[in-house]
Amino acid sequence: MYDDDEEEEILVLIAAVYEYYHKHFDKQRCTDSMLQGEDYIFEILNGHGDRCNENFRMYPNTFRALCRELKLLGLKNSTFVTVEEQVAIFLLTLYHNERNRVIAERFQHSTSTISYRFHAILKLRTKIIVPPDLNEIPKQIKNNLKFYPYFKNYVGAIDGTHIHVVVPVDKQIPFRGKKGDTTQNVMAMCSFDMKLTYILAGWEGSANDSKILNECIQNEDLNFPSPPEAYCTLHNFIRFQGKSDEIFYCETPESSTSQNEPDMDDIVEVISATNTQMRQMDIYRDRIVNLIWEHCNH
> Could you give all domains of the chain from N- to C-terminal order, each with its CATH number?
37-128 (1.10.472), 132-253 (no CATH)
CA dist 290 and 296 (Å) reads 10
pLDDT at 254: 45
CB of 192 closer than 8 Å to CB of 165: no
CB of 215 closer than 8 Å to CB of 229: no
pLDDT at 271: 43
CB of 151 closer than 8 Å to CB of 157: no
The sign one gets for the Cα dihedral 68, 70, 75, 81 is: negative
Burial 186-210 (b: 16+ CB within 10 A, else e): bbbbbbbeebbbbbbeebbbebeee
CB of 177 closer than 8 Å to CB of 183: yes
pLDDT at 274: 61
Q: Give the number of other Cβ atoms within 10 Å of residue 185's Cβ.
A: 22
Below-50 pLDDT ranges, the chain: 250-271
pLDDT at 138: 81
pLDDT at 237: 65
pLDDT at 122: 81
pLDDT at 25: 65
pLDDT at 292: 66
